[in-house]
Structure 1
Amino acid sequence: MQLPTPRGPLTAALFERLRRPPHPFDPPSAPAETPAIADEDLQLALFTCYELHYRGFEEVDEEWEWEPSLLAMRKVLERRLENGLARAVPRPPYPPDLSVRRALAELVTADDGPSLSAFLARRADLEQFREFVAHRSIYHLKEADPHTWAIPRLDGRPKAALVEIQADEYGGGRVEKMHSELFRATMRGLGLDDSYGAYLDRVPAITLAISNTMSFFGLHRRHLGALLGHLAAFEMTSSAPNRRYSTGLRRLGGDEAARRFYDEHVQADAVHEQIAAHDMCGGFVREHPSRAGDVLYGAACALTLDRLFAEHVMDHWRCGASSLRETNVMAESR
Structure 2
Amino acid sequence: MLVPAPRGELSASLLNVLHAGPQATAAMYGQLDETAARALAADPDVLRSDDLQLTLFCLYELHYSGLDGIDPDMEWQPELIRVRRVIEAAFEAALRRTVPVPRAPAPEAEAVASTLFRLAAEDHGPSVSRFIARHATTDQLREFLVLRSIYQLREADPHSWAIPRLPVGRAKAALVEIQADEYGGGRPERMHSHLFARTMAGLDLDTRYGYYLDQAPALVLASSNAMSLFGMNRRLRGCIAGHLAAFEMTSSIPNSFYARGFKRAGYGPDVTFYFDEHVEADAVHEQIAARDLAGGLAESEPELLEDILFGASTVLTLDAMLGEEQLAAWKEGRSALREASPTGIDMQTLAADAAASGVPA
Q: TM-score, normalised by structure 2?
A: 0.89
Out of 93, 96, 104, the position equivalent to 2:106 is 96
Residue 179 of structure 1 contacts residue 261 of structure 1 at CA under 8 Å; is this kept in 2? yes
Counterpart position of 2:338: 325
The structure that has the greater radius of gyration is: 2
Counterpart position of 1:39: 49
Amino acid at match of 1:63: D
Out of 180, 191, 197, the position equivalent to 2:193 is 180
Counterpart position of 1:212: 225
Mapped partners of 2:341, 2:179: distance in 1: 35
Measured at CA, do residues 212 and 324 of structure 1 come closer, stay the same or move farther in structure 2, by a change above 3 Å?
same
Dislocated runs of 4+, deviation >4 Å? none
Amino acid at match of 1:179: H
Mapped partners of 1:93, 1:111: distance in 2: 17
Counterpart position of 2:327: 314
Task: Give, in angstroms, the shift of residue 290 of structure 1.
Answer: 1.9
Query: Are residue 50 (structure 1) and residue 63 (structure 2) matched?
Result: no
Residue 36 of structure 1 contacts residue 43 of structure 1 at CA under 8 Å; is this kept in 2? yes
Residue 10 of structure 1 contacts residue 45 of structure 1 at CA under 8 Å; is this kept in 2? yes
Residue 171 of structure 1 contacts residue 177 of structure 1 at CA under 8 Å; is this kept in 2? yes
Counterpart position of 1:59: 69
Residue 141 of structure 1 contacts residue 196 of structure 1 at CA under 8 Å; is this kept in 2? yes
Out of 129, 136, 139, the position equivalent to 1:127 is 139
Amino acid at match of 1:193: D
Out of 226, 230, 235, the position equivalent to 1:222 is 235
Mapped partners of 2:324, 2:202: distance in 1: 26
Residue 111 of structure 1 contacts residue 303 of structure 1 at CA under 8 Å; is this kept in 2? no
Task: Give, in angstroms, the shift of residue 328 of structure 1.
Answer: 4.4
Mapped partners of 1:64, 1:111: distance in 2: 43
Q: Is there any run of 5+ residues in structure 1 with no aligned partner, and where?
A: none
Counterpart position of 1:254: 267
Residue 146 of structure 2 contacts residue 212 of structure 2 at CA under 8 Å; is this kept in 1? yes
Residue by residue over 1:171-209, the C-alpha shift from the partner in whole angstroms, topping out at 9 and shown as x without a partner, is: 001000000000000000011111111100000000000
Mapped partners of 1:247, 1:143: distance in 2: 22
Mapped partners of 2:105, 2:197: distance in 1: 42
Helix, strand or coil at the partner of 1:20: helix
Task: Give, in angstroms, the shift of residue 153 of structure 1.
Answer: 1.5
Out of 133, 149, 159, the position equivalent to 2:161 is 149
Counterpart position of 2:8: 8
Q: Is there any run of 5+ residues in structure 2 with no aligned partner, and where?
A: 344-361
Out of 254, 276, 299, the position equivalent to 2:312 is 299
Amino acid at match of 1:176: E
Task: Give, in angstroms, the shift of residue 82 of structure 1.
Answer: 0.7
Task: Give, in angstroms, the shift of residue 11 of structure 1.
Answer: 0.4
Helix, strand or coil at the partner of 2:213: coil
Task: Give, in angstroms, the shift of residue 254 of structure 1.
Answer: 1.2
Q: TM-score, normalised by structure 1?
A: 0.96
Residue 44 of structure 1 contacts residue 205 of structure 1 at CA under 8 Å; is this kept in 2? yes
Mapped partners of 1:162, 1:96: distance in 2: 22
Amino acid at match of 1:119: F
Residue 199 of structure 2 contacts residue 271 of structure 2 at CA under 8 Å; is this kept in 1? yes
Mapped partners of 2:43, 2:229: distance in 1: 22
Helix, strand or coil at the partner of 1:142: coil
Out of 179, 185, 201, the position equivalent to 2:214 is 201
State the number of aligned residues: 330
Residue by residue over 1:112-165, the C-alpha shift from the partner in whole angstroms, topping out at 9 and shown as x without a partner, is: 311110000010000001001000000000000000011111211111110000
Amino acid at match of 1:312: E
Mapped partners of 1:329, 1:78: distance in 2: 26
Out of 294, 297, 300, the position equivalent to 1:281 is 294
Task: Give, in angstroms, the shift of residue 34 of structure 1.
Answer: 4.1
Mapped partners of 2:173, 2:267: distance in 1: 36
Mapped partners of 1:151, 1:281: distance in 2: 13
Written as runs of structure 1 = structure 2, the 5 A alignment for 1:257-268 is: 257-268=270-281
Mapped partners of 1:283, 1:95: distance in 2: 14
Mapped partners of 2:170, 2:341: distance in 1: 48
Counterpart position of 2:346: none
> How large is the Cα RMSD of the aligned pairs?
1.3
Query: Are residue 139 (structure 1) and residue 151 (structure 2) matched?
Result: yes
With 83-92 and 96-105 compared, the bigger mean Cα shift is at 96-105
Counterpart position of 1:233: 246
Task: Give, in angstroms, the shift of residue 213 of structure 1.
Answer: 0.1
Residue 124 of structure 2 contacts residue 316 of structure 2 at CA under 8 Å; is this kept in 1? no
Mapped partners of 1:139, 1:233: distance in 2: 16
Task: Give, in angstroms, the shift of residue 32 of structure 1.
Answer: 3.3
Residue 106 of structure 2 contacts residue 112 of structure 2 at CA under 8 Å; is this kept in 1? no
Residue by residue over 1:236-265, the C-alpha shift from the partner in whole angstroms, topping out at 9 and shown as x without a partner, is: 000000001001001111110111110000
